[in-house]
């Protein structure tokens, strides 16, 4: 199999069709957890279908409360809607979208945040003009067996051309993909991977 790293092609990630920051409200906080003073962050992975609806919500990292985790998925599946991902030919394909729901008691603190970091890389030296902390979002075309067929950075991302090839190379070496499921059947998909890149401490102290 030939793995392709490119900067621009037909593939595209699933993206929110409406303002995702409005999907979670303070009033969504479960009363039982307010009374118990339970707080935390629910990290989710959403499976987005060909029509842009959320087909599945799985918990990648729990908040520590099943009630908060279940509520996060319930709300996201109800309110979330996406522009579907696209394959090499620009046709709709299943996609993933990683996000976090942060549950906090303070007013205005319950919030939805997308694209938390999935992989951290430490390099000896970052290119000149690249500030720390730096990150790049790559699009991974994954087949129904979980094999990575193509990897490319989002072209509109500020560091795509500079950091994209390194990020894709490390994603290929270090990320084990699971195929997305449609009614329990594995399907080809475009999955998002957010890669954080930092310099070694010794390199920073030399500046």
Q: Tens of pLDDT along the chain (207 residues)?
A: 444 444 445 799 999 999 888 898 888 999 999 989 999 999 999 999 999 999 999 999 999 999 999 999 999 999 999 999 999 899 999 999 988 899 987 654 555 555 568 888 887 777 677 666 678 889 999 999 999 999 998 877 677 788 888 889 999 999 999 999 998 999 999 999 988 877 776 554 454
Q: How far apart are CA 134 and CA 131, in angstroms?
A: 6
Q: Is the dihedral of CA 207, 197, 82, 57 positive or negative?
A: negative
Per-residue pLDDT, 206:
52
Per-residue pLDDT, 155:
77
pTM for this entry: 0.79
Q: How far apart are CA 57 and CA 193, in angstroms?
A: 17
Long-range contacts of 159-164 (CB under 8 A, 24+ apart): 159/130, 159/134, 159/135, 160/7, 160/136, 161/7, 162/127, 162/130, 163/127, 163/130, 163/134, 163/136, 163/195, 163/197, 164/5, 164/7, 164/136, 164/138
Kindly give, in sequence order, each residue whose CB lies less than 8 Å from that of residue 183, ignoring residues fewer than 6 positions away.
none
Helix (H, G, I), strand (E, B) or coil at 89: coil
Q: Is 94:187 a contact under the CB 8 Å cutoff? A: yes
Spatial CA neighbour of 161 closest among 3, 32, 15, 5: 5
Per-residue pLDDT, 83:
97
Q: How far apart are CA 140 and CA 36, in angstroms?
A: 41
Per-residue pLDDT, 5:
45
Q: How far apart are CA 151 and CA 157, in angstroms?
A: 14
């Amino acid at each position: 199999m030939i793995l392709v790293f490119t900067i621009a092609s037909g593939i595209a990630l699933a993206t929110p069709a409406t303002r995702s920051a409005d999907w979670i409200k303070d009033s969504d906080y479960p009363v039982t957890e307010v009374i118990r003073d339970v707080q935390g962050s629910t990290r989710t992975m959403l499976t987005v279908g060909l029509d842009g609806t959320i087909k599945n919500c799985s918990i990648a990292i729990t908040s520590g409360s099943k009630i908060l985790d279940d509520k996060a998925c319930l709300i996201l599946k109800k309110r979330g809607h996406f522009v579907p991902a696209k394959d090499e030919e620009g046709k709709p394909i299943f996609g993933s979208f990683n996000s976090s729901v942060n549950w906090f008691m303070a007013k205005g603190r319950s919030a939805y945040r997308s694209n938390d970091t999935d992989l951290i890389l430490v390099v000896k030296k970052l290119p000149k003009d690249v500030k720390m902390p730096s990150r790049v979002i790559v699009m991974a075309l994954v087949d129904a067996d979980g094999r990575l067929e193509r990897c490319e950075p989002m072209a509109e991302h500020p560091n795509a051309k500079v950091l994209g090839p390194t990020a894709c190379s490390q994603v290929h070496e270090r990320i084990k993909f699971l195929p997305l499921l449609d009614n329990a059947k594995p399907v080809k998909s475009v999955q998002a991977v957010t890669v954080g890149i930092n310099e070694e401490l010794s390199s920073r102290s030399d500046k």
